[in-house]
Amino acid sequence: MDIPTEPAAMSAVELVTAYSAGALSPVEATQAVLDAIGERDEPLNAFCLVDPERALVQAKESEARWHSGHVQGLLDGVPISIKDVFLTEGWPTRRGSTCIEADVPWPLDSPVVARLREDGMVFLGKTTTPELAWKAVTDSPLTGVTRNPVDPSKTSGGSSGGSAAAVAAGMGPLSVGTDGGGSVRIPASFCGIVGFKPTWGRIPLYPASPFGPLAHAGPMTRTVEDAALLMDILSLPDPRDPGALAPTVTTFRGQLHRDVRGLTVAYSADLGFADVDSEVAAVVEAAVRRLDEAGLRVVAADPGFAEPLEAFERLWAAGAATMLSKFPEGSRERVDPALGKVWDHGESLSAVDYVDARGVAAEVGIVMGAFHTAYDALITPTMPITAFEAGHDVPPGSGLRSWPQWTPFTYPFNLTQQPAISIPAGTTADGMPVGLQIVGPRHSDDMVLALARYAEQILGS
């Protein structure tokens, strides 16, 4: 095997293959990615912390393991970035907020970070997030605006926008984000990468998210295969999350290549209520046609639930207010002003309001449960639009008041806790990425990944 000339462009699977063949070392790969960060990150602002020293120490330790034949994990020596909402021992976790001090002890790893460390992966640094990951674009009072590698005048999306920008720009093959209303899938769609939100509880979380049953963690990668391998690491148990699901019987990587051509897949162009940009609709329609011609049984069908926007916004505001109520006195004046309004809204809600919203979420879940007795999976556009001008919470000139209004395909499946993945479907005439979303029944994470892998092969051919 020849030594790769562009290790920063390689997938995690390609890196591990090269390590195994002795064609590339973790140190060489890590240095290449660090060089890419140095060259590319300034206009994008994907990272809020980069630690070259620590990364190279970890890479050298991995290199020694590969030389000795005692590899530590599936992705030993593969560089990865971590969204700055996950506790990471020795690094501050400020979550985009000036209200969180950096100069205090940071002794803990969250479950996500603990599993990555146990696997022997190389930590590059932490990626940017809007303050407390509250919205679907990435800018904050602490770190400023994060931009899209395809067109830096546009947003990367959010709230895992730093992670998406890093992966899309070749600044590491992998990252881990969070998704409470689309925050993995939205930036994946905008930046042209893969973003997977598994079934709620599949990846353990600690501390518990104030967004509760909406909150997921998920891999952000350039290939579906990399996402499956990362899922096998991230979904390992952790005793600190009492709501985490039991370990899977099979591996995600082991189920990835199963034959999915006999499945019946519904395609909903708008869920029955979404307004979709005509060019985005055409790109997704063309992708769906190719999948149907390749052997999937695709049937046009809407799930049949009404737009659950109000219920989602109540749950989101209640979670934000719960989190912010624990902040130091005077924080209301320091946070992102739009987040402050969400805080106020959350404090105005009653317990009855919250329970009613949870009831709506349950109703949508029941509808989707019945829907999946007829259809194995659902395909939709990931987003109804492409990335818009950076530095705005809603598309300029749209007249919209809040971010959930422009992401109608993502947040409903946080309410239902179903697995959902965004993969690249194509691009518009001006080169902006368009995502295709695949949604499966709860606990069908392996099937969703296998479908996504098949679709990735067809659409990439």
Q: Which residues are catalytic?
A: 83, 159, 183
Q: Check if the beta carbon of residue 205 is closer than 8 Å to that of residue 111.
A: yes
**Phi (first) and psi of residue 140, to 5 degrees:** -150, 160
Cβ neighbours of residue 61 closer than 8 Å, sequence gap 6 or more: 120
- Bridge partners, 278 (sequence order): none
Q: Are strands 144-145 and 297-300 parallel, antiparallel or unpaired?
A: unpaired
The secondary element (H helix, E strand) that includes residue 365 is helix 351-371
Q: Check if the beta carbon of residue 412 is closer than 8 Å to that of residue 187.
A: no
Q: Are strands 122-127 and 79-83 parallel, antiparallel or unpaired?
A: parallel
Q: Check if the beta carbon of residue 199 is closer than 8 Å to that of residue 245.
A: yes
Cα atoms in the 13 Å half-sphere on the side-chain side of 261:
7
Q: How far apart are CA 202 and CA 181, in angstroms?
A: 17
Q: Are strands 216-221 and 194-197 parallel, antiparallel or unpaired?
A: antiparallel
> If you write DSSP's letter for every residue of 52-91 in order, what string do you get?
HHHHHHHHHHHHHHHHHT---STTTT-EEEEETTS-BTTB
- Tell which residue, 115, 220, 206, has the closest CA to residue 173: 220
Residue 219 tokens read as 């891999």
Task: Calculate the CA dihedral of residues 161, 162, 168, 174 and round it to 10 degrees.
Answer: -110
Residue 366 tokens read as 């029941």
